[in-house]
Structure 1
Amino acid sequence: MKYKLGDFVRFVDEKMEGFVTRIIDDQMIGVTGEDEFEIPVLASKVTTVHGYEPAGSKNAVADDKPMQIGEFEKKGIYIGIIADAKANSVVHFYLVNNTSFQLLAALTTEKQQAFKGEFAEAIAPKSTAKIYSAQLADLQLWPRFILNVIYNTKQNIEPPAPLIINEKFKAKDFSTSKKPIPLLKEPGWMIRLDEPEMVIDAQKLKESFFKSPEEKTVLDKPTSEVDLHIEKLRDDYQFLQSSEILNIQLAHFHKTLDAGIVHQLSDMVFIHGAGNGTLRHELQKVLSKHPKVQTFMDARKEKFGYGATKVILK
């Protein structure tokens, strides 16, 4: 298969083009166009359109100037995962080498006892390399990653022991917010492979067992309009099941409602969207029994339609 996820292709027999968003088998691929519909097509019926490169696809250029021993970075190896700039249903995995070592890296994937070598290259100091691509929707089907990394330098510095990572990614690995990934300068999920040694602070450990009972959680004052759409609450919403999404939305609703009551707001608007009405029903079930709620109603229909509920607090 000469095509990879994220490749930009054009149909040979039709006036269509799009991005490869699925590798179906050795002959078939899935191509998604501007209408966001994925079309199965024979790989022989499309051709690569040159000139498009996914975000972060170029390795950072290593600095040629001699590095002083005091500047030598021994830590900073990550897996960076970013969405394709054009085909959002595809994510790319990068090995990020933010150290001063040259890395000799090899990635093998395993799925149902079938092993496949995916990547094997030397990665220069302060640079990145794309090692794998995958479909977001297929998270549960992603293979197990077996990554071996060996450190190398010509300087008089002892290299650390090789890294051996044997991991199958899960949805919880993407539960944190996106953050800028070193060298790639693109927002995404970052997993550190060379965790710094843990140093236990005995004093802080002791303090954690003897917290003053007067210490209370401070609730920040919420805005009068609270958006409960899942994409406003979590960056990893593509990986979540419907039940998980509902629980997250309800938890945020309870938290902001409590904060509004603490800060004595007179009213609040919760934007839940129209959808199938499940979230709206759950909110109104809570509001109908809440002792601090005077009444509730559909918020301004000219602005929200039936997608928001206004709450009048006591």
Structure 2
Amino acid sequence: MRRREFITLLGSALATCPGVALAQTVNRARRIGFLSTSAEDDAEAAKRLAAFKLRLQELGWTEGKNFQIDVRFGSNSGERIHQAATELTEIAPDVIVSTTSTTTRALMNATGNIPIVGAISGDPIALGFTKDLSHPTGNITGFTTFNDTLAAKRFEMLHEIVPTMRIAALMWVPTNPQQVLLETKTKEAAHILGIELLSLPIKAADDISRALAAAQNQHAAAIIVAADPLTVANGRAIIDECISMKLPAMHTFAFETKNGALMSYGIDLVENYRRTAEYVDRILKGTKIAELPFQEPARLTLAINLQTARAIGINVPSTLLARADEVID
């Protein structure tokens, strides 16, 4: 048999062999898109991206060898996020990682075909990402921050620290699709405890000082700062102003407490990005989105900063300290 005829026959055999075809698909270099809401110089965002890459490496993926990653940063700008979403979908990666509900919404508007894994998401059904959590109905799956009791638990813990509280405030961002639901849940939690909730929506960094001044002027005894790229990016200013005003504040992420916030209760961000890498691994190996259910937080972390507590004149109950995962002293 001539060499050319042999190669032709071999090629036909490979094409009709599913096992070989799958091996070829898995072994070729794959392309991962990654859309971050944050700015490129955001140190915390860099840690989360590093955790994602490390978990991929543990699963057998080597950057530059069997996968490449295209990262785009939204710089906390709605316009830039939508532009970056379009850029990523145009290069047609095998899968895209989304870092917030805002980036997921932008990607959903840009593509209905490329698999999207949300490292952080609000209520996926309420946000229109799927009709079914167990079997996603579109091209999106991921890991939610959504928990029916989360808002209530935050409020209860803040009330433990300030038991005389009659008025509390919530700083939130109405342009973030998941925070409308958060405000509703927080209002419900306040109502159950007989506490008046002062709603403080903000749209830009310039609104932050005015919102905090409103909380002080209307005698709010404490404040909940909802996690959004806007509040996180301006976290230093929010923390400093709350300390200056001696206003107890509940944040979401442990790194905010390490940066000086009184306390935080929310998901372990690094763990979410490691779990995201596991979903990406499965997608690259052929698993369909419908087979990857949305998952609720595997772990919630309570962090308390006693230095800040002393600075604002707050005594943290020993019962609350005993439940804390991390205490900064």
Whether the TM-score (by the shorter chain) exceeds 0.5 is no
Give the TM-score taking structure 2 as reference length: 0.25
Bigger helix fraction: 2
Bigger strand fraction: 1
Return the index of the structure with the highest Cα Rg.
1
